[in-house]
Amino acid sequence: MTSHPPFRKVLDGVATREQMFQLFGRHKDNPEFDPLSGTPYAGEWFEIAAEQYHFMLDLLPPLFMRTGMFGMSEFKAGNVTSVFFEITIRGRRRWYHGFCDLTDRQSPEKMRAAIIAHETGAVDSMTREEKLEAIWNATHPDFKGIAGTFNPEAWPVEHHGKRYVLVNDGRHGTIPKLVEYLSDEEIDIRMPAIRARRTSRGGSNDAEPS
């Protein structure tokens, strides 16, 4: 299965309440998701509005509270639970949700640092893995999928459960390609649109095959 960077943003812009709850269960249809481990969720984060932060704080007694963060007492699975952050970035208060694996007791602090680094850094400083994650998240659902979910015979067994996006292959037309196999050129083609979205902090996730 595709490896992920330790911490990764899974939504551009600020999640609505509906989007937040959708992201809480975004791996439930993945055939390789182990609901007892919560591993696919560990390290994922996204921005939310202040209302969502305070709603979740009032929902259940927190597992822990620290300056600018609290953890949910109801775990996602295994040692993975939701952690909510209030962070001031460039003079503006913002709010985030992340899934932390508390096997590492420092993971909430590490995630906080990763969020700050990401939100204050440049796209050009992203690693290849972070760019692939950004491309996957920016691609419209009509143009991406999980290999082997609907047509298992079309993919080698070892690729089942991996992510793919549709790409324009010239004379062969539009074809599915595993995200991890995207070439540097295919990545570079997609990054300007992602850079524009992050600059404006708006727009829809509708990257089409290119």
* Helix 184-200 vs helix 128-138: crossing angle, to nearest 10: 70
- From edge to edge, which strands make up the β-sheet containing 163-168? 144-146, 163-168, 174-178
pLDDT digits (tens, 9 = 90+) for 85-135: 999 988 889 999 999 999 998 899 999 988 988 888 744 567 788 888 888
Q: What is the pLDDT of residues 152-208, one digit of tens each?
A: 888 999 999 999 999 987 777 889 999 999 988 888 888 777 766 665 554 444 555
Full domain range(s) for residue 72:
8-121
Which of 92, 121, 150 finishes a domain? Answer: 121
Find all residues with CB under 8 Å of 32, minimum gap 6, and list them: 1, 160, 161
- 117 shares its domain with 128: no
Number of domains in the chain: 2
Looking at residue 178, its pLDDT comes to 95
**Domain identity same for 132 and 47:** no
Q: Tell whether 80 and 133 lie within a shared domain.
A: no
Contact indicator for 34, 78 with CB cutoff of 8 Å: no
Digit-coded pLDDT (tens) for 68-79: 999 999 999 889
| pLDDT band for position 12 (cuts 50, 70, 90) | confident
- What pLDDT sits at residue 181? 92
- Pair (112, 38) in one structural domain: yes
Give yes or no: residues 158 and 108 share one domain. Answer: no
- Establish if 1 belongs to a structural domain: no
Cβ count near 60 (within 10 Å): 10
Strand (E) or helix (H) holding 85: strand 80-89
Sequence length of the chain is 210
In angstroms, the Cα distances linking 143 to 124, 169, 195 are: 25, 14, 19
Does a structural domain hold residue 87? yes
In a domain, 173, yes or no: yes
Q: Clarify whether residues 73 and 32 are in a common domain.
A: yes
